[in-house]
Amino acid sequence: MMGQFYPKSLLFKQILRTMKLSIFLLLFVTFQAYSHTSYSQSAKVSIPHSMLKVSDILAQIESQTDYLFVYNKNNVDVHRTVNINAKSQAVSDILDEVFDGTNISYVMEGKNIVLTKHNEKAPEQDKNIIVKGTVTDKTGDPIIGANVVEKGTTNGIITNMNGEFSLNVSPNATLIITYIGYEKMSVQVNGQKTIKVQMQEEAQTLETVVVTAMGIKKKAASLTYSTQQVEGDELTRAKDPNMINALAGKAAGVQINKSSAGLGGSVKVSIRGSRSAFEGGNNQPLYVIDGVPMLNSSTESTSTVMGGENDGVNRDAGDGISNLNPDDIESMSILKGASAAALYGSQAANGVVLITTKKGKAGLQKVTFSSNLTVDHAISLPEFQNSYGPSGTDSWGEKKALTDYDNVGKFLGNGATAINSLSLQSGNEKMQTYFSYANTTAKGIIDSNKLQKHNITFRETASFFNDRLKLDGSATLMTQKIKNSTASGGLYLNPLVDLYSFPRGMDMSEYANKFEVADPLRNGMPTQNWFTQVSEWTQNPYWIKNRVVNNNRRYRALVSLSTSLKINDWLSLQARGNVDYASDKFDQDMYASTAPNITGSYKGKSNGRYVWSESEQFQIYADVMAMFNKTWDKWSLNGAIGTSLNKTKVNSLMLDSKIASLYKPNLFTVANIVMNSDASVDQTIDQRRTLQSVFGTAQVGFDEALYLDITARNDWSSTLAHTKSMNTGFFYPSVGLSWIASNSLRLPEWISFSKIRGSWAQVGNDLPIGITNLVDIIRAGGVLQTADSYDKGDLKPEISSSIEFGTEWRFFNNRLGIDFTWYQTDTKNQLLKMPTAAGDKYAYRYINAGKIRNKGIELTVDGTPLMNESFRWKTAANFSTNSNKVISLYPDYTSFVYGDPGISMAYLMRIKEGGSLGDIYGNAFVRENGKIKCNEDGSPFVKTGNNDYLGNANPDFLLGWSNTFTYKGFSLYFLIDLRAGGDVMSLTQAILDQAGVTTETAQARDRKYVEFGGTRFDDVASFYKSVGDRNGISEYYMYNATNVRLREVSLGYSFPQSILEKTKVFKGIDISLIARNLFFLYKDAPFDPDATLSVGNALQGVDVFGMPSTRNVGFNIKFTF
């Protein structure tokens, strides 16, 4: 089918054509719609003459209009039958008819129609006063349509667009204020003329509408799979420069690992375990903002245990998601399983995070200013001894009382992060505006590390032609500057290496102040001053801090436009497009006399090293969808069909003098680079990826109790060029079924809701760009580098087939809820880059093979154990397990090394049939007849080669437990987070033990022996010199990764309206004390096992001088005007 319509056309033309066509379609139907005079101001509905249940009528209205009904089932009898006959009648007329003679009233608020119950009696009027008031929610947002009733009467009113009301009552009356989803309030009038009411949310709102794949809204109750909603305030309660960190512990099945890279680093988000055995593969979820996928590539970070690529550039300046302003986020919806994400096809293998951003609201004008300041302090540092002094450069000397100079404490100071943000929301029924500005300024625990970020967002939504045409446009601009981003780990150019291993009892301050000294042989050029010979393994930390400096700059613009057009009662069209542009600049200056292995020399002189890099990423996305929604009797059908186009283009250039050095010392310009074959030029020219898709989804509902969900998508991806699958593309189906038992069975009163669901889906993981078409390249200096891998033209995307079952229950009027999911995902066609054995024609071969299975359960429990007029305790716990197993790999190829093994490191990851992703291998003690084999001098024999299985980095289960206590204006929130099981290795400890600086070695020396595995070693020093260091016996350095921490705490206070009113300025003031990562309740490893050296697939479960995790304590203050 391809090619006939647009033979040989360029993609850009296609986009234009797609856009033209969409616009034409939109204009055409708009015109049609507008010229159709029979439409009146409010939506009209036709229902054939029949006896219908109230619920069916509501469903009919919902299906023919945009309206959704919101009501409390306990108050509205939806099983009552009504005789109805409506021919193109206004909704309000129908509702008047349906609820005539009942105690139900309704109010239309936006797309929602709220049904509430009131008393029938007519209001009495005598000697009354007029009370004016405002009803707001706890954040100060006005509540529109709240019911305000004088107690014991039928005298009442509904609040207006500003949440205001005015009611004629007796001076001693009590006002009862109710609103769906909120706790009932009663307020004594006591002669007051004005009243401010702040309502508290009910334990659980009913009938919530959630955003699902492609931005399609569905009733939460109808979903056939598990999703998790995270409200925007979860991200802003205790802010982190990378907002996704705030998700840690809050969602079942979602594991968050922060990169150990200091300020602005990336985050590894792993949903339901890792699936891809391809080292360079993608294990991160797809991020979608308001229905449109966004760029989320991370910058180069630690790639081996040694350090970064090119032995130098070891930085992590964040990922795409870290660019967003958390204050802009309305909510997030995490599509965990394949079923939820199936509509994203080949981008969906790792789950999807849907982000809904804020927009202006009709009838609301609000200005919010919030300020968040935290102080960051390093925790989980190694433990140092102070009883054995230096011997040479190690600390294996005489025992004596040493002065503790706290060299580490002096180097690592307190960091600080300040995030200030301002947002404006305003709008009327036709147009709504949202504007925000946020500014993040941070200083790292190494004071040269600084971050500055500005975010500006502008969003305008508008509706035309009686709400038939809606336009929604937004623009987000971001600039970020990170100075001196620190190494996220590794041994090269990492100040922590020598900071930690510096001999005990010696004072580093001399080398702090004089980290450089004038070299008379070079006419006073400052050169590195260190207590021992400088090498790649040992450099002055203050030199690294001050003379190995870098600058990361990022500019990003995200512009999107969405239009939707309602064609008739059941059909609407939508077209969306966005452009996402990111530009990164990076440069790094390494001054002359930085370790020669890293910076090289020119004519025998160390002249420094300069790295310059610039990259541009550009993504354009467009989709067109037709959405339909129809109800017949008990049946409902809604769905969409559409097509999308996603195209990315990358240009980049990195110039690095590496060891070719510079012509002139300390002049950091590109022209000064000795551009010979020792230098490095890495250029990407117009690297493109195109993904074209058609997709469709349909949901059939029966009697509001049974739902069948089907989705289908076919993707054509340019990365499949040169394979057999290029023209057919790949098809990704899903099917799911859910049954809301509580809507079809008569269950006991105390069961408020019950549902059972099941689904099956297939999603994919595209190929990386260019691997089907590898070519030779020319490197710096004109030298040839040939392609070292091949495939046989049969590569396919990875396919994950997933099956999940779940059930949801709510009890006691929604005070307790349980959500349980079991899933199993089999990922086939694993893309493997097999290192070939001696004798093969290439170093590597790409194949699709193997099967990796992830299965697990997720359990969420939430409840409101205590609740009365002034006090409330809400609690929620989430629990998840995931077990990963490599079922098969390849007939002749059942084991291979995962990731760059690095050189001479007692750590690697290996994938093996029967094993699992995350298996850690290293050097174990050699045992003969159960005894540890030793050398002649009694030290344990070290066998290198990393052939011994030592553990697995994945946790057995994760548990997050959050609690919120509210008392009057106060609220206390805390989150405890448990990660149980899994193993981690600390090469940091191994290296420090060998240097003799750790408490452990001092205790062993005091004890005069070390005992391990039943063998006693009497020569403590030779023991640690054997097991320690980076290629010793790493079995000794395995730790249980289990840890329990107080992840997040906040204690807040909202000023009462009575005080705010006097200010006449503020609508709300909220202040809170916040803390993240406050302390560990339990931890075995000598570092934070949740921090990760790399957000990629490799290097999991190992620490090599990663930046320590930080405790963040501070406050948050928010003013609403």
Partner 1 sequence: MKYTKYLMTLLVGGLLGASTACTDGFESDNRNNAGFDSNLQEYDFQKYLLKFEIIQSGIYFNYNWGSGKNWPFQIAQNLGQDMFSGYFHDFNQTFNDKNSVYALNDGWTSTHWTYNYSYIMPEVQKCEQINAEQPALLAITEILKVELMHRVADCYGPLVYSKFGQEGDNVDDLKTAYKQFFTDLESGISALGNFIKDNPGVEPYKDADLLTPNKTLAEWIKFANSLRLRLAMRVANVDKAMATEQAKKSFELNKFLETPTEVISTSTKSGYTNPLGEINKSWGEVFMGATMESVLNGYNDPRIGKYYEEASGKDIVWKDDNGVDQHLSQRFDYAGTYKGIPQGTGLTTKDNRYQMCSRSTVSQTTNPILMTAAEVWFLRAEAALRGISSENAKDCYEKGVKTSFEQWGVTGADAYLQSNAVPNDYKDPFDENFDMKALITTTPNWNDASGIEEQFEKIMTQKWLAIYPEGNEAWTEQRRTGYPRLFKVKVNKSGGTINTNIMIRRLPFPADLQKSNPTQYNSLKSALGGADNGGTRLWWDTGKNNL
Distance in Å, CB of 1106 to partner 1, minimum = 21
Q: Please enumerate in sequence order all residues whose Cβ is within 8 A of that of 961, keeping only pairs 6 or more positions apart, or say none.
A: 875, 876, 877, 975, 976, 977, 978
| Residue 170 vs 676, nearer CB to partner 1 | 676
Distance in Å, CB of 131 to partner 1, minimum = 51
Distance in Å, CB of 643 to partner 1, minimum = 4
Closest alpha carbon to 82 in 119, 112, 55: 55
Distance in Å, CB of 468 to partner 1, minimum = 13
Q: How far apart are CA 475 and CA 867, in angstroms?
A: 42
Q: How far apart are CA 14 and CA 8, in angstroms?
A: 10
CA distances from 139 to 198, 301, 426 (A): 9, 40, 16
Look up residue 972 and give its amino acid.
Answer: L
Distance in Å, CB of 387 to partner 1, minimum = 12
Closest alpha carbon to 275 in 358, 356, 364, 336: 336
Q: DSSP letters along 597-638, please?
A: HHH--BTTB---EEEEEEEEEEEEEEEEEEEEEEEETTEEEE
| Residue 111 vs 605, nearer CB to partner 1 | 605
For residue 1014, count other CB atoms closer than 10 A to its CB: 9
| Residue 1 vs 671, nearer CB to partner 1 | 1
Distance in Å, CB of 1003 to partner 1, minimum = 20
| Residue 690 vs 801, nearer CB to partner 1 | 690
Secondary structure of residue 245 in the 3-state scheme: helix
| Residue 172 vs 513, nearer CB to partner 1 | 513
Look at strands 919-922 and 164-169 and give their pairing: unpaired
Distance in Å, CB of 1031 to partner 1, minimum = 6
Distance in Å, CB of 787 to partner 1, minimum = 9
Distance in Å, CB of 49 to partner 1, minimum = 21
CA distances from 200 to 144, 483, 642 (A): 14, 44, 41
| Residue 130 vs 903, nearer CB to partner 1 | 903
- Per-residue tokens: 163: 């949440």
Distance in Å, CB of 610 to partner 1, minimum = 16
Distance in Å, CB of 843 to partner 1, minimum = 3
Q: How far apart are CA 755 and CA 705, in angstroms?
A: 9
Strand partners, 43: none
| Residue 646 vs 754, nearer CB to partner 1 | 646
| Residue 533 vs 868, nearer CB to partner 1 | 533
C-beta separation of 304 from 213 below 8 A: no
Distance in Å, CB of 981 to partner 1, minimum = 25
Look up residue 779 and give its amino acid.
Answer: R
Distance in Å, CB of 1104 to partner 1, minimum = 15
CA distances from 920 to 950, 1037, 1099 (A): 6, 12, 9
- Per-residue tokens: 1056: 């009462």
| Residue 147 vs 718, nearer CB to partner 1 | 718
Distance in Å, CB of 609 to partner 1, minimum = 11
Q: How far apart are CA 574 and CA 643, in angstroms?
A: 11
CA distances from 334 to 259, 338, 565, 951 (A): 21, 11, 27, 30
Q: Which residue has 């505006």 as its token pair?
A: 433
| Residue 46 vs 1058, nearer CB to partner 1 | 46
| Residue 732 vs 760, nearer CB to partner 1 | 732
C-beta separation of 425 from 361 below 8 A: yes
Strand partners, 647: 620, 690
C-beta separation of 1003 from 1010 below 8 A: no
C-beta separation of 609 from 547 below 8 A: no
CA distances from 131 to 187, 723, 917 (A): 12, 75, 66
Q: Please enumerate in sequence order all residues whose Cβ is within 8 A of that of 832, keeping only pairs 6 or more positions apart, or say none.
A: 277, 278, 846, 847, 848, 849, 850, 889, 890, 893, 896
| Residue 480 vs 994, nearer CB to partner 1 | 994
C-beta separation of 260 from 1093 below 8 A: yes
| Residue 79 vs 603, nearer CB to partner 1 | 603
Strand partners, 794: none
Q: Which residue has 């057009």 as its token pair?
A: 565
Distance in Å, CB of 421 to partner 1, minimum = 38
Q: DSSP letters along 687-751, please?
A: EEEEEEEEEEEEEEEETTTEEEEEEEEEEEEGGGTTSTTTTT-EEEEEEEEEEEHHHHS---TTE
C-beta separation of 1001 from 385 below 8 A: yes
Q: Which residue has 């079991």 as its token pair?
A: 822
| Residue 310 vs 463, nearer CB to partner 1 | 310
Q: What angle do CA 614, 616, 620 make, to 5 degrees?
A: 175
Distance in Å, CB of 771 to partner 1, minimum = 9
Look at strands 104-109 and 112-117 and give their pairing: antiparallel
Distance in Å, CB of 30 to partner 1, minimum = 12
| Residue 293 vs 736, nearer CB to partner 1 | 293
| Residue 686 vs 749, nearer CB to partner 1 | 686
Distance in Å, CB of 934 to partner 1, minimum = 8
Cα torsion 212, 214, 218, 223: sign: negative
| Residue 454 vs 688, nearer CB to partner 1 | 688
| Residue 658 vs 810, nearer CB to partner 1 | 658
Q: How far apart are CA 558 and CA 582, in angstroms?
A: 9
